[in-house]
Amino acid sequence: MSSEPYDLVIVGAGPAGLAAAVEASAQGLHTLVIDEQRAAGGQIFRQPPAEFGEPVRSPVGYPWAARLLADAADAPGVEWWFESTVFGILDTRSTGRDEFEVLVAGPQGARRAPARRLLIATGAYDMPVAFPGWTLPGVLMAGAAQGLLKSQHLRAAGPVVLAGSHPLMLIVAAQLARAGAEVTEVVFARGLPSLRELFLAAPAVPGHARLLAELAGCVLTLVRRGVRIRTATVPTAILGDGGVGGIRVARADRAWRVRGPEREVPARTVVLGYGFHASTELARQLGCAVRWDSAAGDGSWPWTATSRRMSPGSSPRASPPGCPARSSRAPRGPQRRRSSPHVWAAP
């Protein structure tokens, strides 16, 4: 345990946590980054183990990833605790100490990391959807299937059927197919977008051109390999006794209610992708208000007037009530010593 509090403790070494660490280093902050994995990168930038002897590669759609990983690794004043889990955060202001105590379990046992400021960059996890057969061996969430492929080069046993509602399924299906997996079908709950939906979405295209190009490339990969892509179709049951043997699907309306006859698709692996939950456990433990935003499909930290009690240089965007917002510019010099401890949420 450090005797002097860290200026900033970042929980999570994914893209947001890495970018924050680089910026904090540039501002001269003594920073600690904590992550459960063996190396930085998170799910999006996940790399194979060093034992594989492979160079660091930027994922498709993120050409700047390798540079960010290198910049973070070389950032002065940044300490890294890998293979470590934050299991609790204590707000010690009631005892007269102007800091947090971050409780960590890792290779060196249980430790405490005192922090003047805390950045929660814990990302998200796959949102489970329960229906008959969803707990059978051979059922994976999209993030798990992708993580196994990225980190260990383990591909799902075929035939593989992907079912859900999130576009990530196209990326995972293409990655599995390119790795040699037998992907046979991708089933989307929603139908094709209407002309009105396409028109309303048009303003967002310029800012997401690279991602849209990646998705188009994934679709092309799947079509070339003969993978069927079905829309307005939902899974009704996963079949099998002791393991996946197939999946039953049916046509659905815009509300995802079954409106057509069921059919069975053979499968040894079913990958489900219904989006993600924000990992808000630590924020809720600290008392930050969290509400469900059904439009965004996720837990969010609403911004209210109570969030305006911030340190100099911070931004009120997406702030939790009672907890100041994420920082757009780190306080410098005497400011950072005088200000109260703060919790920020990385985007």
DSSP letters spanning 74-117: H-TTEEEE-S-EEEEEEEGGGGT-SSEEEEEEETTEEEEEEESE
Residue finishing a domain among 229, 245, 274: 274
Could you tell me if residue 23 is inside a domain?
yes
Last residue of a domain, one of 274, 309, 333: 274
CA–CA distance, 270 with 161 (Å, rounded to integer) = 5
**pLDDT at 345 > cutoff 70:** no
Residues 95-102, mean pLDDT to the nearest whole number: 79
Same domain, 88 and 74: yes
Residues 119, 20: one domain? yes
Whether residue 73 lies inside any domain: the answer is yes
Does 91 share its domain with 140?
no
3-31: per-residue pLDDT in tens? 689 999 999 999 999 999 999 999 999 99
Residue 56 and residue 169 in one domain: no
Do both 48 and 164 map to the same domain? no
Q: Which of 274, 301, 328 is the last residue of a domain?
A: 274
Domain presence at residue 224: yes
Asked if the structure places residue 321 within a domain, the reply is no
Dihedral in degrees, nearest 10, Cα atoms 210, 211, 212, 213: 50
Decide if 71 is inside a domain.
Answer: yes
Peptide bond into 137 cis (omega under 30): no
304 in a domain, yes or no?
Answer: no
Q: Are residues 192 and 211 in the same domain?
A: yes
Q: How far is CA 206 from the centre of its chain?
A: 23
pLDDT at 338 over 70: no
Dist. CA 61–CA 45, nearest whole Å:
11
What is the spatial distance between Cα 115 and Cα 285, in angstroms, rounded to a whole number? 16
pTM of the predicted model, to two decimals?
0.77
pLDDT in tens, 75-87: 999 999 999 999 9
Q: What residues make up the domain containing 65?
A: 6-123+279-286
Q: Is the domain of 38 the same as that of 91?
A: yes
pLDDT greater than 90 at residue 142: yes
Phi, psi (degrees; rounded to nearest 5) at 297: 70, 35
Asked whether residue 117 falls in the same domain as residue 132, the answer is no
Alpha-carbon distances, residue 330 vs 120, 244, 324 (angstroms): 15, 51, 13
pLDDT at res. 346: 59
Grade residue 210 by pLDDT with cuts at 50, 70 and 90: confident
Residues 176 and 229 in one domain: yes
**Are 268 and 132 in a shared domain?**
yes
In this structure, is residue 347 part of a structural domain?
no
The CATH number linked to 213 is 3.50.50.60
If one counts the domains in the chain, the total is 2
Phi, psi of 110 (to 5 degrees): -85, 135
Q: Are residues 116 and 138 in the same domain?
A: no
